[in-house]
Amino acid sequence: MKLFIDTANLEDIEWGLRAGFTRGITTNPSLLAKEPKGNYLAHLGKIVALMEEHIPPSQRDGFSLSVEVWSDEPGEMVRQAVGLKDALKWKDVAIKVHIDHNGRENLAVVRELAKRGIAVNATACMTVYQAMAAAAAGAKYVSLFWGRIRDGGSDDKFFVERNQYIEAKKVRITDFDPAIAVRETRTFLNNNYPNAEIIAGSIRAPLDVKDAGLAGAHIVTVQPKTLRAMLGHFKTDEVVDQFFNDFKAWLS
Q: CB-wise, 6 or 211, nearer to ligand E4P? A: 6
Q: CB-wise, 13 or 236, nearer to ligand E4P? A: 13
Close Cβ partners of 20 (under 8 Å, ≥ 6 residues apart) = 54
Does residue 145 interact with ligand E4P by CB under 6 A?
A: yes
Closest by CA position to 124, among listed 157, 153, 147: 147
Does residue 143 interact with ligand E4P by CB under 6 A?
A: yes
Active site residue 96: yes
Closest by CA position to 134, among listed 146, 150, 119: 119
Q: Are 127 and 181 in contact (CB under 8 A)?
A: yes
37, 96, 115, 225: which is the annotated catalytic residue?
A: 96
Binding ligand E4P (rule: CB under 6 A), the pick from 9, 64, 202, 226 is 202
Does residue 221 interact with ligand E4P by CB under 6 A?
A: yes
Alpha-carbon distance of 58 to 161, in angstroms, equals: 49
Alpha-carbon distance of 98 to 126, in angstroms, equals: 11
Binding ligand E4P (rule: CB under 6 A), the pick from 201, 216, 226, 227 is 201
Which parts of this chain interact with ligand E4P (CB under 6 A)?
Answer: 6, 26, 28, 123, 143, 145, 147-148, 201-202, 221
What amino acid positions are annotated as catalytic residues?
96
